[in-house]
Structure 1
Amino acid sequence: MISVIIPAYNCKNVIGDTIDSVLTQTRVDLIDEIIVINDGSTDGTGDFVRETYPNSLVSVLDKTNGGVSSARNEGIKRARNEWIALLDSDDVWLPTKIEKQWKQISINQQIKFIGCNRNKENLRYGTKIGENIYKLDLNHILIKMWPHTSTALIHKSVFETVGYFNENQKYAEDGELWNRIALHYPLYYVSESLEIAGDNKVTFGVSGLSANLKAMHEGNVSNIRILHSNNEIGRAFYIFLIVYYNIKYIRRICITKYGRFIKKYEKNINIYQ
């Protein structure tokens, strides 16, 4: 059975769609509990969830604000089931998300971590091991941190082996955990888009933690520095990744600024039409 963990901070206006997307899964019978970790919200998020979903699978755990990693860890530790599904409060699952992941788990008992594509992406990355299923190792996810956190379905034994989210790391904390997992387990994903992240916005430079491109970049660099210092990646690959991450960072800055320029230009044009 599955426990769904939803960290929540001041998300009263969007979390209803998130929870509804879990309750309307085609295999909702596999979901035993939905734990909303109310991370010190001041907008009434906790009360909204309690009032909207009484006597259901949904429970609310209130805690003082400690950040998303702290909230996720609290939920994972409280979960009573062997499978943990992570879902952020502004993301939604498509109806067959759990069904299609569970099908792959049933076929391959070795799977301890499985995600999927998101936002209509058609990613085919890593080693194909079957129809619509790919496997990733550490090298793969250091080139592209994948799958997205809100798609991840993880066996609880994985956390017992590698530990939990680093509560002292604010940016790229999911990537840091994925790296630790990849040292022990392959990461699998269904190559179908079964999640909508952030209302289909681009995944960097717009809002939330991902809007701080510099801090995200520094977090990613810190992650590979840890691996290198622990002799888990070689020096040549480490240097390659430093160069690659810097190029990616500059590219994202250009894309973000260019996009803002286009929007400003279109707005000015509309004024005179």
Structure 2
Amino acid sequence: MINQASPSPHTVCVVIPMYNGADSIEQTLVSLAEQTRLPDHVIVIDDGSTDDGPQRVKDFAAPFRLTLLQQANEGQASARNHGIRHSQETFVAMLDADDQWRPQKLELQLALYDELSLQGRPVGLIDCYCQVNYSDGRRQLDNIRKSGMHFYDFIHANVLNGVSAALVKRDVMMQLGCFDAGLRYCEDRFMWTRIAEHWEIHTVPQVLLERTINSGNMTAQPKKHYQNKIKFVEVYLARYGAQLSKQQQIDFVLANHTDFLNTFSRGGWHGEVIDVYQRMLKHSWQTLFFDHGKPTLRYLYARARSLRKPTVSTTAH
């Protein structure tokens, strides 16, 4: 059980990258003001916004120290790094400008860290469960529970329940050089993998994060970000390929492409499905049977749909 009897002596800085976040940043900051354990410092990094989000941050009446930093648009990884390097607290908590925390997030995460530290566990990061809310009304629960060394789990998939769930030791981030600012996609998974090489990762098994995904969210724009995903695969293998068997490398590449193939298939983008599948097949013939043959079935369906001639509708409109 998590011992909540005594407050944690540690300090926490919340780092929020923001690009045109005027519609959500105030609600995000309110969720911090409602924490049962307030953050010691909140840093919002304006990543070249063109709306009035920065002014809304300046006008927010915060019950904690609130700092606004501004930079030219360089991406989320660069913005987070700017905030982390400006912080001085024991922990850095990640939070996106369109996500919100439930009131006990920091309290329960810090309590779990203290409990594990008393056991002598080398904890580098703690996350929590996440409720994902899509703009079309769909809801999804991300509830992967971690409790130790998870390096190879991150090789297979990003097993963290969202960036905004992460509470990380600041000295761990600084020791590793923070996020890879050259990546515009999956830079978080790369960072968590590097942490998981040397430190334990644990989860508070409660939903303490509400995550919003809409048409402007990076994960909702697969056509735009597929090339960034390819770069991530290249960078990842350059760093970890020597630690993986040939089969693990194949599984890693195919799994990452399959993520986008499935997304394209669900969106009805048949040409993109065909392109991704052919790229996978060039990498390995195991594509034919990967994931129980599901990518192959999606490819065949896309082929059939793309060859079908459009019919002229006679229905009156």
TM-score range, shorter chain: 0.7 to 0.9
* In structure 2, C-alpha distance between the alignment counterparts of 1:196 and 1:13, rounded to whole Å: 16
8 Å CA contact retained: 1:175, 1:223: no
How far apart, CA to CA, are the structure 2 residues paired with 1:43 and 1:26? 31
1:137 alignment partner AA = H
In 2, Cα distance between the equivalents of 1:135 and 1:242?
25
- 2:43/2:66 contact within 8 Å kept: yes
- Aligned equivalent of 1:81: 89
Q: Does 1:138 align with 2:147?
A: no
2:117 matches 1:117: no
Judge conservation of contact 2:129–2:143 (CA < 8 Å) in 1. Answer: yes
Which structure 2 segments of 5+ residues have no match? 1-10, 132-139, 270-316
Question: 2:209: which partner in 1?
Answer: 195
User: Which residue of 2 is the match for residue 254 of structure 1?
Assistant: 265
What fraction of aligned residue pairs are identical, expressed as a percent? 25
* Conservation of the 8 A alpha-carbon contact between 1:116 and 1:191: yes
Aligned amino acid, residue 65 of structure 1: N
Query: Residue 155 in 1 paired to residue 175 in 2?
Result: no
TM-superposed CA distance for 1:211, in Å, is 2.8
Aligned mate of 1:18, from 28, 31, 39: 28
Contact 1:49 1:60 in 2 (8 A): yes
TM-score w.r.t. the length of structure 2 is 0.71
CA deviation after TM superposition for structure 1 residue 196, in Å: 0.9
Residue 221 of structure 1 corresponds to 233
Tell me the C-alpha RMSD between the 2 structures. 2.2
Measured in 2, the distance between the counterparts of 1:156 and 1:99 equals: 18
Q: Which amino acid aligns with 2:263?
A: R
CA deviations over 1:214-259 (Å, ceiling 9, x no partner)? 2354244234322344x2322221112222333333222223339x
| 8 Å Cα contact 1:224/1:238 also seen in 2 | no
Pairing 1:179–2:193 present: yes
CA distance in 1, matches of 2:149, 2:221: 27
Matches of 2:63 and 2:259 in 1, distance apart?
A: 47
Larger Rg: 2
Q: Distance in 1 between matches of 2:145 and 2:195?
A: 18
Q: Which amino acid aligns with 1:48?
A: R
Residue 2 of structure 1 contacts residue 85 of structure 1 at CA under 8 Å; is this kept in 2?
yes
Instruction: Report the counterpart of residue 269 of structure 1 in structure 2.
Output: none
Do the aligned partners of residues 5 and 136 (structure 1) sit closer, same or farther apart at CA in structure 2, a change above 3 Å counting?
same
Deviations 1:128-178 (A, max 9, x none): xxxxxx335111122220311111100011122211111111111111111
Instruction: State the alpha-carbon separation in 1 of the partners of residues 265 and 94 from structure 2.
Output: 31
CA shift digits 1:177-236 (9 cap, x unpaired): 1121112212222222211111xx48xxx432223322354244234322344x232222
Question: Please, which of 70, 74, 77 is the counterpart of residue 78 of structure 2?
Answer: 70
Give the AA of the match of 1:123.
Answer: N
Distance 2:101 2:62 in 1: 21
Of 237-246 and 151-160, deviating more is: 237-246
> Which residue of structure 2 aligns with residue 209 of structure 1?
218
SS in 2 for 1:197: strand
How far, CA to CA, are the matches of 1:53 and 1:232 in structure 2? 49
**In 2: Cα distance, 1:187 partner to 1:16 partner:** 30
**Which of 100, 109, 127 is the matching residue for 2:108?**
100
Contact 2:96 2:164 in 1 (8 A): yes
Structure 2 counterpart of 1:253, which letter?
F
Q: Distance in 2 between matches of 1:159 and 1:122?
A: 24
CA distance in 2 between partners of 1:66 and 1:220 (Å): 17
Q: TM-score, normalised by structure 1?
A: 0.82
SS in 1 for 2:97: coil
User: Does the CA contact (< 8 Å) of 2:20 and 2:52 recur in 1?
Assistant: yes
SS in structure 1 opposite 2:153? helix
Which whole-Å CA distance do the structure 1 matches of 2:109 and 2:102 have between them? Answer: 12
The answer to whether the 8 A contact 1:210-1:216 is kept is no
3-state SS of paired residue (1:194): strand
C-alpha distance in 1 between matches for 2:129 and 2:256:
22
Is the contact made by 2:40 and 2:64 (CA closer than 8 Å) also made in structure 1?
no
